[in-house]
Copies of this chain bind each other. A is one copy, B any other.
């Protein structure tokens, strides 16, 4: 469904949203440990998200990544697009070079419904909406 980079990216964004209330910063090490991802790879993903403005960063002592309040309204769809592009939202399920209404592949109609459900899920879900449940330990971002 998503690339590894994208899975880490989504989990990281949700983690940062929860851990960086009123501008506190979350360090790379903290993120990698918090979502159980390889730290150096996570760095690359955070750089991409930061360049695209989905997350803020500050260098130096007490630096790290953070989000302001409205940034926690960023949707999972935005994160996915930033990392995996929008192939998932627009591409053909059977790998034809493009999804084409006029020249549909065998599963086009059904697949489009599913694709739209996925998009709808991701577009209506914000990285900041799990803060309380994560804090309560109801939801999890890693297994260990």
Contacts and interface: CB of A to CB of B under 8 A. Distances in A.
Interface in A34-72: none
A133 B108 CA distance: 13
Contacts of A121: 107, 110-111, 114
Contacts of A7: 94-95
Contacts of A104: 138-140
A76 B107 contact: yes
A93 B140 contact: no
A134 interface: yes
Interface string A110-130: 110110011001000100001
A18 to B, nearest CB: 10
A10 interface: yes
Interface in A71-108: 76, 88, 93-98, 100, 103-108
B93 A143 contact: no
Contacts of A130: 106
21 contacts: A1-B88, A1-B93, A2-B93, A8-B95, A11-B95, A14-B106, A96-B141, A96-B142, A96-B143, A97-B143, A98-B143, A100-B143, A103-B140, A106-B125, A106-B130, A106-B139, A107-B121, A110-B125, A111-B121, A114-B114, A114-B118
